[in-house]
Structure 1
Amino acid sequence: MSLSNRLIIFDTTLRDGEQSPGASMTKDEKLRIARQLERMRVDVIEAGFAAASPGDFEAIRAIASHVKESTICSLSRANDRDIARAAEALAPAPRRRIHTFIATSPLHMKMKLRMEPEQVLEQAKLAVRFARQFTDDIEFSPEDGSRSEEDFLCRVLEGVIAEGATTINFPDTVGYAVPEIFGETIKRLRTRIPNSDKAIWSVHCHNDLGLAVANSLAGVMIGGARQIECTINGLGERAGNTALEEVVMAVRTRSDYFKLDLGIDTTQIVPASKMVSQITGFAVQPNKAVVGANAFAHASGIHQDGILKARETYEIMRAEDVGWTANKIVLGKLSGRNAFKQRLQELGIELDSEQEVNAAFARFKELADRKAEIFDEDIMALVADEEQAQDSETYRFVSLAQRSETGETPSARVVFAMDGKEVVAEGQGDGPVDATVNAIESQAQTGAELVLFSINAISNGTQSQGEVTMRLSKNGRIVNGVGSDPDIIVASAKAYLAGLNKLHSKVERLNPQG
């Protein structure tokens, strides 16, 4: 199987991507992203870690119930409880996979697991054997594989394949590997392990040294792996994971070298990137490969002249091939409810009731009165704001007035609902945003620490809505609040209140490190 020319794309945005500080998602948000990944024809969607929390369990079950074309996967530690919980969450899926893992490096076994190597070997085999009761599609990962002793690694992997593991995933858990060594290690393992041909080999690389994509491709070309684990926009803890858009377009653009087949619909890449960015609040840097705003921009006169004469002079792929043509005007203030509802469906946004559709349409009409040109990104931001408000309504924005003048201290007056009761808050600060936050805190008195503030234009032009992300921290918990509005100060107030709602929520995300 590992000698096939078919490259499997395994997306873990909803599991490993969610481990980015503040990137936790609601069930509905996860389902929206999963549906977009299905439209992109991703082979395997790792929907979460079922045993981590009731919220993760319910999200995986919802995805398993709605997504029919992609294989749905749940992560589990190598124990019966986690595996049984994963199987229960995945039960509705036509195609399901259990992904179980245990650490195999000396450091992890001694300091984290406090287990002897022989105990780890036996636990790994028992886990795969137990998982086979629920599905024939079993993936096994030796956590911290790139720092594990090779002889022991061979014994573990040979053992789990014998027990029925159909995919062996080799993770560079801490981003320590370099491409040639990483690829040669996988090649050596496949050569040394007698039954290695009975499983598809996979790679899962982190980007701590900026080498995740390079390591993944080396694992494929040198090591013979035929599955790459990746995330949209390279989202993930620390420096992130292998970026799906980069490996997919590298393999497609340089098909002369890689000679691998992909099932991905690349025109869905940019829509997926924008959806993940808006839902998580993690903006995409302008010079990001494939999905950055400048990825197909040309400022140099020489480059512009070349492009006008022949696109191929400075572009190795077409913008429309990855979905950049999606940024177009779709609706305006004269658009009706049915047209709005149809566009929601085209964007993969499914609201649960007519009441929610009506509420979203009312917000759309309000925005259309203020902003002449409505883009897809505006609609996605509008729905994201509504979902954040529904997720927890402890705090809700009502109105804002602010004054800022050169030589004078900026001030703000914010009206917001707190536990259903409207309060009026006033504050001053170094700037209008600082004054707005200080005003809210004067009444809310949450003690939250603002650790990140970023602004992103949702579409082009001076009429663009501003999308503000505020990352808040309190008692070790980190959340992202996102707000959008044509008025950037109002967007900031919405973002701060959205962050406070998440801090107030009792739902926790307890994800593993993997």
Structure 2
Amino acid sequence: MGDPAVIRIFDTTLRDGEQSPGATMTTEEKIQVAEQLVRLNVDIIEAGFPAASPGDLEAVQQIARRTRGVAIAGLARADISDIDAVWEAIRDADQPVIHVVLATSGIHLTHKLKLGYEEALQRVQAMVAYAHSLCPTVEFSAEDATRSEWDYLCRVFEAAIKSGATTINVPDTVGYTMPHEYEALFRYLREHIPGIEDVVMSAHCHDDLGMATANTLAAIKGGARQVEVTINGLGERAGNTAVEEVVMALRTRPDYYGNVYTRINTQELLAASQLVSRLTGIPVQPNKAVVGQNAFAHEAGIHQDGMLKNRMTYEIMTPQS
């Protein structure tokens, strides 16, 4: 499982982030972002969804071949052709990761996938085992986990672990859950799934109700040791958890989060933010936490007076940190 004090950063800017309307990037632009993510020192780059198109497969393949010192993941639905496409794209990476996803909520199984619960369980077993036959590192995600039945979720994750999954991801796919619920779910899974202590638990949150960062931090309290994030919180609908917010929250409040930490080079956060904004054409809101133009600006006279006397009166972190 690795050092329990380290929170792994799984950056999905190039996959989930690029699914944000208008955020499409060329292969060369994706490589620029990947190179910046290496400078940022993320642990895993989810480089894309290779089965989506030949262009996406090529972009993931180029990133896998040209970046070193970082794990490269590709997303696959629980389908042999998807998994084969991911393996073709990432097999030349230093540390390849096949990321397999299948929904587990009743609404997704019934209305989207037209699968029964047992049929879905069998597909997870078969497809995770197939992915593991190709690649030693496999992540399994239970899409819409936070709207799934908890006991069924335990059965699915247990099957995935037995089939070779090394990371178990618990996505809040539609930004539905609340922090206390998400933390409780992680604790429940840790207590009820045989073998969970041998794998990494991961959190993946969306910001539909403005809770993505809070939920991700709650998951860390509940035992998550990997968080799936994007630069600037880029992502579908209201976006994903912003890497800069989670990293700086952990760095600013180590007392509250049990002194866990990330390996992120925080001095590269602003450069990453500006690069992604420029390439996608999606501006960063001025009052965005950590990287917004106004994040360290002070207008009120009382605040300015305090800042002149001691910066800590109104700033809990420095721009340089």
**TM-score normalized by structure 2?**
0.98
Once superposed, what is the RMSD of the aligned Cα atoms? 1.0
Give the whole-Å Cα distance in 2 for the aligned partners of 1:54 and 1:145. 30
By how many angstroms is 1:238 displaced? 0.4
SS in structure 2 of the partner of residue 51 of structure 1: helix
Per the alignment, residue 25 of structure 2 pairs with: 25
Per the alignment, residue 129 of structure 1 pairs with: 129
Structure 2: gaps of 5 or more residues: none
1:94-128 CA-to-partner distances (Å, cap 9, x unmatched) read 11101000011011001110011111001011111
Amino acid at match of 1:308: L
Where do residues 297-376 of structure 1 align in structure 2 (5 Å cutoff)?
297-321=297-321
SS in structure 2 of the partner of residue 320 of structure 1: coil
Give the whole-Å Cα distance in 1 for the aligned partners of 2:174 and 2:150. 17
Q: For this pair of structures, how many residues does the alignment match?
A: 320
Give the whole-Å Cα distance in 2 for the aligned partners of 1:21 and 1:262. 29
Where do residues 264-275 of structure 1 align in structure 2 (5 Å cutoff)?
264-275=264-275
SS in structure 2 of the partner of residue 229 of structure 1: strand
| Conserved? CA contact 1:2–1:201, under 8 Å | no
Per the alignment, residue 284 of structure 1 pairs with: 284
Give the whole-Å Cα distance in 1 for the aligned partners of 2:186 and 2:2. 12
Structure 1 position 180 matched with structure 2 position 187 = no
By how many angstroms is 1:14 displaced? 0.3
By how many angstroms is 1:2 displaced? 7.6
* Identical pairs, percent: 54
Give the whole-Å Cα distance in 2 for the aligned partners of 1:169 and 1:89. 22
Amino acid at match of 1:245: E
Where do residues 114-263 of structure 1 align in structure 2 (5 Å cutoff)?
114-221=114-221, 223-258=222-257, 259-263=259-263
Per the alignment, residue 113 of structure 1 pairs with: 113
1:185-215 CA-to-partner distances (Å, cap 9, x unmatched) read 1110110111111210000000000000000
| Conserved? CA contact 1:2–1:224, under 8 Å | no
| Conserved? CA contact 1:2–1:226, under 8 Å | no
By how many angstroms is 1:265 displaced? 0.2
SS in structure 1 of the partner of residue 320 of structure 2: helix
1:469-509 CA-to-partner distances (Å, cap 9, x unmatched) read xxxxxxxxxxxxxxxxxxxxxxxxxxxxxxxxxxxxxxxxx
Q: 1:3 to 1:117 in 2, by over 3 A?
A: farther
Amino acid at match of 2:164: G
1:353-379 CA-to-partner distances (Å, cap 9, x unmatched) read xxxxxxxxxxxxxxxxxxxxxxxxxxx
SS in structure 2 of the partner of residue 133 of structure 1: helix
Amino acid at match of 2:234: L
| Conserved? CA contact 1:2–1:225, under 8 Å | no
1:121-154 CA-to-partner distances (Å, cap 9, x unmatched) read 0101111111112221110001110011111111
Give the whole-Å Cα distance in 1 for the aligned partners of 2:89 and 2:108. 28
SS in structure 1 of the partner of residue 197 of structure 2: helix
Per the alignment, residue 495 of structure 1 pairs with: none
By how many angstroms is 1:37 displaced? 0.3
- The ranges of structure 1 where at least 4 consecutive aligned residues each deviate by more than 2 angstroms after the TM superposition are none
Give the whole-Å Cα distance in 2 for the aligned partners of 1:161 and 1:2. 16
Where do residues 407-426 of structure 1 align in structure 2 (5 Å cutoff)?
none
Give the whole-Å Cα distance in 1 for the aligned partners of 2:168 and 2:205. 14
SS in structure 1 of the partner of residue 52 of structure 2: coil
Amino acid at match of 1:196: I
By how many angstroms is 1:261 displaced? 2.2
Amino acid at match of 2:242: A
| Conserved? CA contact 1:2–1:197, under 8 Å | no
By how many angstroms is 1:72 displaced? 0.5
Per the alignment, residue 103 of structure 2 pairs with: 103
Structure 1: gaps of 5 or more residues: 322-514
Per the alignment, residue 476 of structure 1 pairs with: none
SS in structure 2 of the partner of residue 255 of structure 1: coil
Per the alignment, residue 35 of structure 2 pairs with: 35
Q: 1:135 to 1:155 in 2, by over 3 A?
A: same
By how many angstroms is 1:28 displaced? 0.5
Per the alignment, residue 510 of structure 1 pairs with: none
Give the whole-Å Cα distance in 2 for the aligned partners of 1:251 and 1:284. 22
Where do residues 386-425 of structure 1 align in structure 2 (5 Å cutoff)?
none
Amino acid at match of 1:103: A
Amino acid at match of 2:232: N
- Higher-strand-fraction structure: 1
